Amino acid sequence: MAAWLGWVIESNWTDPFLFAVYSIVKPISGAAILVVMYGIVTQGNFDSALFPYIYLGNAFYIYVGAVMTGVSWAVVDDREHYKTLKYMYIAPIYIPLYLLGRGVARFITGSIAVFITLAAGILFLNVKINFAEVDWLLFFVTLILGVVMLALLGLLLAGITLTVARHEGFIGEATAGALYIFSGAVFPLDVLPEWIRPVGYFMPTTYWLELLRRSLVGNVAQAFPTLANFSNLEILGILLGLSLFFGAVSIWVFKVCDARARELGLIDRTTNY
Amino acid sequence: MSTSLAIETKDLGRIYKLRGSKKETRKELVALQDVNLTVERGELFGLLGPNGAGKTTLIKVLTTLLSPTSGWARVAGADVHAEPDLVRPRINMVSGGESSGYGLLTVRENLWMFSQFYGVPSKEANERIEALLEMVGMKDRIHTKSSDLSTGLRQKMNIVRGFLTDPEVLFLDEPTLGLDVGASRDVRKFIIEWLKADKERTLLLTTHYMVEADELCDRVAIINKGRVLACDTPSALKHRLQKDVLFEIQVSPLNGLNQQMLVDQPEVTKAAITETETGAKLSLGLVEESALARVINLFTQRDVKVMNLNKREPTLEDVFVDLVGRSMAEEESNERS
Ligand SMILES: Nc1ncnc2c1ncn2[C@@H]1O[C@H](COP(=O)(O)OP(=O)(O)O)[C@@H](O)[C@H]1O
Ligand SMILES: [Mg+2]
């Protein structure tokens, strides 16, 4: 229900065509650019284990932009664009649940983009996935857990967005960009200087992407040393723990920001952007 | 604590901290100060004041959107700051002069969605939507995408959204702002009918249209610069001035004659000047009718010609002038400068 409402609102662009372009074509073209760059840097070595590592990491990272950034954008959208946030606010609903509903809707559009990206990789780009060896249970458990985790991270950003006076749209994008680097999405964490790696180890997205890769292409993922010492179950445990931790932090941060927004009168504030 | 009151405020205050570009330029703006109001259930209560008086701020505090910085307020029996979850199911709010809504959804979908947040059963919601749209004269637009509506119709849709959830206390912030004459009349008529249908319903509206407050409201609070200056029924408010005789005088350019000179006359109780294209319009309160002669004399000395003269009944505008010393329009232009 909340998801359906979220979906209708999410697709509520002046032009549905633009919406399709934005939510599907954009991530796919992002993947295409990555492939070209990879091709140039490695001189066409698509057989290396690094290629599926990068390709899958990037493909699933689409969810971060869709769900996490999407949830925080819902605040900007409703406040600035539709001018409905204050009416949502005075309604007897739990705002975080409504925002998470918006995240679920973004998950659906995101899935289309992820699916197309994966299909394109398998059909045209020689990304080898042996479907007989895929651990489907691990895959779906990880996927769902990850999406919930991303939606909760989005809630954290939504709270901050609520209290920030300017550049609020930037927060979601910037966080997504930072996570891209620190979560081992397109290169193993070992590439980063040692002192900064703990940031990556603290991010649930790191373990989420690793597990997704392992569930789809088991041995390829193990070729990289970052998390090789951990079993799938251990990583799942870490992911669950970090998700719970960040989830609790998010709900708390949202509550604090919410109170602060009421104090400062920011709930129906609009900038002229 | 009495729960029979729809709204109750005690020494309610709100200060905005303004952010200057430099630290030293930070200022505080007192938007509400020592507001003490009580509104009974079943009342149509009006907040009347010029732009910037603090009306919207008061509504935001009462609807749990904004925390007060001092005092407290209770709506439908619960504290708006400490117990917003008890207040929210019982209220709704509409701001006039803005077009909100999800553009790609139809009128019905937009309204239905909000009704779901309040747990109105779907079938009942649809019935209410049809009935309410009928009442505001836009039933034929039920399947129109809200982005295709004119601003006026979108505002009407927004007003319907407020009534749809059948709140115990409804807040309307300048409901007719920006609407044309016909639509404003529709809305006013609708407000009255809605209240009549259930004696427990309470409605608080803000306006800076004197006539609207006078025509609609059971009681009116006159608010200026964040303070409530008077609160009573429109007729009682006007009655205070009944001892004065009121004249509306259209004159040629004033040639230096100013408000102070008029007020300095012992028989003049109050004077408001509005500049017009051809000269000025004066609103004068005199202790007795015969004093008019001396005012005319003052005009003659300055070669100011009387073009039109009307004796009239007091309005809420006069009450405002009496309380503040200036007209609402003057108060607004003064605020801006
Ligand atoms: N968010 C805000 N931050 C700072 N000042 C504000 C804010 N909102 C309103 N004000 C100021 O508070 C005063 C009262 O505003 P408002 O309540 O909107 O008045 P009204 O609705 O009667 O026109 C005005 O001087 C206005 O400029
Ligand atoms: Mg206002």
Asked if B122 is an interface residue toward chain A (Cβ–Cβ < 8 A), one would say: no
Q: What is the reported pLDDT for B73?
A: 97
**Kindly report the CA angle at A246 between A240 and A247, in degrees rounded to 5?**
85
Smallest Cβ–Cβ distance between A83 and the set B60, B100, B119 belongs to: B100
| Mean pLDDT value across residues A213-228 | 77
Number of domains chain A contains: 1
What does the alpha-carbon distance between residue B204 and residue B181 come to, in Å, rounded to a whole number? 21
From chain A, pick out residues whose CB is under 8 angstroms from the CB of B102: 8-9, 12, 82, 84
Q: What is the reported pLDDT for B107?
A: 95
Ligand positioned closest to the Cα atom of B53:
1
Q: What is the reported pLDDT for B231?
A: 96
What does the alpha-carbon distance between residue B95 and residue B142 come to, in Å, rounded to a whole number? 21
Q: What is the reported pLDDT for A81?
A: 84
**Is residue A269 in some structural domain?**
no
**Is residue A272 in some structural domain?**
no
Report the atom number in ligand 1 closest to the C-alpha of B208: 22
**Is residue A271 in some structural domain?**
no
Report the atom number in ligand 1 closest to the C-alpha of B53: 22
Nearest CA to ligand 1 atom 24: B52
| Mean pLDDT value across residues B325-335 | 83
Q: Domains in chain B, ordered, with CATH?
A: 5-232 (3.40.50.300), 240-336 (3.30.70)
pLDDT, one tens digit per residue, over A9-19 is 665 544 566 66
**Is residue A65 in some structural domain?**
yes
What does the alpha-carbon distance between residue A13 and residue A8 come to, in Å, rounded to a whole number? 10
Element housing B306 (H / E): strand B306-312
Q: Which residues surround ligand 2, an ion (CB under 5 A)?
A: B 56
Question: What's the gap in Å between B206 CA and the centre of ligand 1?
Answer: 14
- The DSSP code for B305 is P
Cα torsion A79, A84, A88, A89: sign? positive
Whether A76 contacts A170, CB under 8 Å:
no
What does the alpha-carbon distance between residue A252 and residue A271 come to, in Å, rounded to a whole number? 27
Structure tokens at B174: 């300048």
The set of residues, in sequence order, having a beta carbon less than 8 Å from that of B161 and lying 6+ positions away, is A87, B92, B94, B110, B111, B114
Question: What's the gap in Å between A12 CA and the centre of ligand 1?
Answer: 31
Report the atom number in ligand 1 closest to the C-alpha of B335: 25
- The DSSP code for A78 is I
pLDDT, one tens digit per residue, over B54-110 is 999 999 999 999 999 999 999 999 999 999 999 999 999 999 888 888 887 899 999
What does the alpha-carbon distance between residue B223 and residue B219 come to, in Å, rounded to a whole number? 13
Report the atom number in ligand 1 closest to the C-alpha of B51: 23
Smallest Cβ–Cβ distance between A5 and the set B85, B103, B113 belongs to: B113
Q: What is the reported pLDDT for B318?
A: 86
Whether B135 contacts B190, CB under 8 Å:
yes
Question: What's the gap in Å between B51 CA and the centre of ligand 2?
Answer: 6
Q: What is the reported pLDDT for A128?
A: 80
> Please, what is the average pLDDT of chain B?
90
**Is residue A146 in some structural domain?**
yes
Q: What is the reported pLDDT for B1?
A: 45
| Mean pLDDT value across residues B37-49 | 96
Return the residue of A nearest to B98 by Cα: A83
Q: What is the reported pLDDT for B47?
A: 96
Nearest CA to ligand 1 atom 17: B54
ipTM: 0.83
**Is residue A206 in some structural domain?**
yes
Whether A174 contacts A267, CB under 8 Å:
no
**Is residue A120 in some structural domain?**
yes
Whether A273 contacts A176, CB under 8 Å:
no
Per-residue confidence band for B4, with pLDDT thresholds at 50, 70 and 90: confident
| Mean pLDDT value across residues B285-310 | 89
**Is residue A179 in some structural domain?**
yes
Q: What is the reported pLDDT for A7?
A: 61
Location of structure tokens 């991010």? A203
Number of H helices, E strands in chain B: 12, 15
Answer yes or no: do B101 and A82 touch at CB < 8 A. Answer: yes
Q: What percent of chain B has pLDDT over 70?
A: 96
CB B177 less than 6 A from any atom of ligand 1? no
A38-47, A111-120, B253-262: which range is least confident on average?
A: A38-47
Q: What is the reported pLDDT for B287?
A: 86
Q: What is the reported pLDDT for B2?
A: 47
What does the alpha-carbon distance between residue A134 and residue B229 come to, in Å, rounded to a whole number? 75
Structure tokens at A115: 């699916």
pLDDT, one tens digit per residue, over B117-175 is 999 999 999 999 999 999 888 999 999 998 899 988 999 999 999 999 999 999 999 99
From chain A, pick out residues whose CB is under 8 angstroms from the CB of B16: 265
From chain A, pick out residues whose CB is under 8 angstroms from the CB of B119: 92
Answer yes or no: do A84 and B100 touch at CB < 8 A. Answer: yes
pLDDT, one tens digit per residue, over A69-109 is 889 888 888 888 888 999 999 999 889 988 988 888 888 88
CB B31 less than 6 A from any atom of ligand 1? yes
Question: What's the gap in Å between B97 CA and the centre of ligand 2?
Answer: 9
Q: What is the reported pLDDT for A10?
A: 63
Asked if B89 is an interface residue toward chain A (Cβ–Cβ < 8 A), one would say: yes
**Which domain does A37 fall in, by range?**
2-264
Q: Does the pLDDT of residue A3 top 60, yes or no?
A: no
Answer yes or no: do A90 and B91 touch at CB < 8 A. Answer: yes
